């Protein structure tokens, strides 16, 4: 921890004021629910694309990806490689479908297809996914800034949470999109700046960094063997494809943006712009992680200092020097990968640049959280409150419910982040939770649009079977040794793959048997 120069603090404060001002500026336009949720359908495709890109590029990417590259290799980059494959389906099928329905909620059509239960089930899965997402982003943002600002992670989350809630509630979807345009540009420039500063500290520059990384097998994409029990190339590719298919096809964060576009062509353009920006940007963060590994290999005294800090944090301030030293000696790069970039920023980034990079870290988290808050408020209002409690909700009353729901979901996301204090890897926890909650939702969606003959009863049975499989895959590895025969050997990232396919194929099979009978 160090004292931040006044000029850097000024940059951070100006950034936060700017975000709140954007919310205030657009608050004057929020006269009805359509403006709050759809921005009245007048946003250009390039702005929506930057907005989706900024939502993808969260603090999980900003912090977790370099930590993954530092602690292991580039296996997680396969997730980004899968994105264009999912985008093909999204641009061809999903965007025209949602634009044609006109419903701002991604889940309204499920009621028309299978009944109210399907709509509610998808909303619950989505909201739980967003709690996990917002919580992990809050956690990652606070973890990055703790060493730089000197405040506790909890206090950083609370301050940032208040700012995000204020501008999201005031400005609605239009404010969310335009703040994300600014944030997307800022975080990309911040990543480029960090890479430059890391390479500047390595004698020999990028050539030396590549030489050290290659010797340590840091650029591997994982084993190419069809082994689904470990995080190899094919496991991450399948996981990434299904998660991105869920993002583009069922995630309210992205579906809602399709409705803000001027027309269908602009909505499709936004998807491909997001992909064209995110894939190289994620590669940039993997390069940063590998460069940091090379830098710390060349500076073992810094590595020891970092390990001592991590050991002290885990044991608490009351631990003895011997206890700290013993734990520090056992730590591997994967154990402190998420701490590396903040540690480097503390000691090696000069003034002015530090303020800009902290603003970039803040933007990485704020864009994802604000988007999640708005999306959760929208589906709660449309799919829960209006559907079950007040069908005639409209006008100012609907706008008030949207405001209140946005605040409540923002506070819940903040609470989830506070509950995550102490986890080992922010990227791991997000991948695991998203795979659990998203699997059932995507399976039901695909069953609805691809199996035209499947009816309500078949869908219910398919979802029940799918949930049982997802729960078994998730929790069976924790069974005692006496029940080891019942443990799942599949990697945790296969949960969404197997869960989705289970629901879809079960539904298709039962439909076939029913029609044959």
Contacts of 168 (CB under 8 A, 6+ apart): 23, 175, 176, 370, 373, 374, 406, 410
Q: What percentage of residues in the chain have a pLDDT greater than 90?
A: 25
Name the more confident of 361 and 448: 448
Average pLDDT over residues 6-14: 85
User: CA–CA separation, 410 vs 138, rounded Å?
Assistant: 11
Name the more confident of 4 and 215: 215
Q: What is the pLDDT of residues 60-71, one digit of tens each?
A: 677 778 988 998
- How many domains are there within the chain? 1
Q: What is the pLDDT of residues 383-396, one digit of tens each?
A: 999 888 988 887 78
User: CA–CA separation, 435 vs 105, rounded Å?
Assistant: 21
For residue 26, the model assigns a pLDDT of 78
In a domain, 454, yes or no: no
For residue 505, the model assigns a pLDDT of 94
User: CA–CA separation, 132 vs 139, rounded Å?
Assistant: 10
Task: Supply the mean pLDDT for the chain.
Answer: 85
Contacts of 460 (CB under 8 A, 6+ apart): 114, 117
Full 3-state SS string of 85-147: HHHHHHHHHHHHHHHHHCCCCCCHHHHHHHCHHHHHHHHHHHHHHHHHHHHHHHHHHHHHHHH
Name the more confident of 287 and 484: 287
- Longest CA–CA separation in the chain, Å: 76
For residue 63 the two structure tokens come to 């912090």
In a domain, 124, yes or no: yes
User: CA–CA separation, 169 vs 173, rounded Å?
Assistant: 9
- Number of helices and strands in the chain (H, E): 23, 0
In a domain, 342, yes or no: no
Q: What is the pLDDT of residues 217-255, one digit of tens each?
A: 999 999 999 889 988 999 999 999 998 998 888 888 888
Band of residue 442 on the pLDDT scale cut at 50, 70, 90:
confident
CATH, residue 406: 1.20.1730.10
In a domain, 138, yes or no: yes
Helix (H, G, I), strand (E, B) or coil at 107: coil
Q: Domain range spanning residue 218?
A: 6-299+351-422
Contacts of 139 (CB under 8 A, 6+ apart): 153, 157, 417, 420, 421, 423, 426
For residue 509, the model assigns a pLDDT of 93
With CA atoms as reference, report the closest residue to 342 among 130, 150, 497, 168: 150
Helix (H, G, I), strand (E, B) or coil at 261: strand
In a domain, 507, yes or no: no
Average pLDDT over residues 365-380: 85
Average pLDDT over residues 364-380: 85
For residue 278, the model assigns a pLDDT of 93
For residue 273 the two structure tokens come to 């712009």
Contacts of 371 (CB under 8 A, 6+ apart): 51, 55, 176, 180, 253
In a domain, 304, yes or no: no
Helix (H, G, I), strand (E, B) or coil at 152: coil
User: CA–CA separation, 447 vs 250, rounded Å?
Assistant: 13
Band of residue 1 on the pLDDT scale cut at 50, 70, 90:
very low
Q: Are 489 and 452 in contact (CB under 8 A)?
A: no
Q: What is the pLDDT of residues 135-162, one digit of tens each?
A: 888 887 787 777 677 778 888 888 888 8
- Count CB-CB contacts under 10 A for residue 18: 13
In a domain, 456, yes or no: no
Name the more confident of 176 and 277: 277
In a domain, 498, yes or no: no
Average pLDDT over residues 488-492: 88
User: CA–CA separation, 516 vs 225, rounded Å?
Assistant: 39
For residue 238, the model assigns a pLDDT of 94
């Amino acid at each position: 921890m160090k004292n931040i120069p006044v000029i850097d603090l000024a940059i951070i404060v100006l950034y936060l004021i700017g975000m709140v001002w954007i919310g205030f500026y657009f608050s004057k336009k929020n006269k009805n629910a359509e403006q709050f949720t759809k921005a009245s359908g007048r946003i250009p495709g390039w702005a929506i694309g930057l907005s989706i890109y900024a939502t993808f590029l969260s603090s999980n990417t900003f912090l977790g990806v370099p930590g993954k590259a530092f602690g292991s290799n580039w296996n997680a980059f396969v997730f980004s490689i899968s994105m264009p494959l999912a985008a093909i389906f999204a641009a061809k099928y999903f965007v025209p479908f949602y634009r044609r329905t006109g419903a701002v909620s991604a889940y309204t059509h499920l009621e028309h297809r299978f009944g109210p239960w399907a709509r509610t089930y998808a909303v619950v899965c989505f909201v739980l996914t967003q709690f996990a997402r917002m919580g992990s982003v809050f956690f990652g943002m606070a973890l990055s800034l703790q060493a730089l600002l000197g405040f506790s992670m909890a206090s950083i989350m609370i301050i940032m949470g208040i700012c995000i809630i204020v501008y999201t509630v005031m400005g609605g979807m239009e404010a969310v999109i335009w703040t994300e345009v600014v944030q997307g540009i800022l975080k990309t420039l911040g990543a480029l700046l960090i890479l430059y500063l890391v390479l500047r500290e390595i004698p020999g520059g990028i050539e030396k960094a590549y030489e050290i990384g290659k010797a340590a097998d840091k650029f591997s994409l994982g084993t190419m063997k069809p082994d689904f029990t470990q995080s190899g190339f094919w496991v991450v590719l399948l996981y990434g494809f299904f998660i991105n298919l869920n993002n583009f096809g069922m995630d309210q964060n992205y579906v809602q943006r399709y409705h803000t576009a001027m027309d269908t062509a602009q909505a499709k353009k936004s998807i491909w712009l997001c992909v064209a920006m995110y894939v190289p940007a994620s590669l940039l963060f993997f390069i940063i992680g590998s460069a940091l590994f090379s830098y710390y290999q060349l500076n073992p005294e810094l590595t020891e200092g970092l390990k001592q800090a991590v050991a002290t944090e885990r044991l608490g301030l009351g631990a003895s020097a011997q206890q700290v030293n013993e734990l520090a000696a056992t730590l591997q790069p994967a154990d402190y990968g998420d701490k590396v970039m903040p540690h480097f920023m503390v000691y090696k980034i000069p003034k002015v640049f530090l303020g800009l990079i902290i603003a970039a870290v803040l933007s990485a988290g704020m864009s994802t959280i604000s988007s999640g808050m708005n999306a959760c408020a929208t589906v709660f209002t449309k799919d829960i409150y209006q559907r079950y409690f007040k069908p005639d909700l409209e006008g100012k009353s609907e706008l008030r419910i949207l405001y209140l729901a946005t605040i409540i979901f923002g506070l819940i996301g903040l609470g989830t982040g506070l509950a995550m204090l102490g986890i080992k890897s922010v990227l791991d926890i997000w991948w695991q939770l998203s795979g659990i909650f998203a699997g059932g939702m995507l399976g039901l969606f695909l069953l609805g649009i691809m199996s035209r003959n499947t009816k309500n009863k078949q869908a219910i049975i398919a979802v029940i079977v799918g949930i049982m499989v997802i729960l078994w895959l998730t929790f069976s590895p924790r069974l005692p040794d006496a029940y080891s025969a019942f443990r799942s050997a599949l990697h945790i990232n296969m949960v969404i793959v197997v869960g989705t396919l289970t629901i879809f194929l079960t539904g298709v099979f039962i439909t076939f048997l029913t029609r044959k009978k």
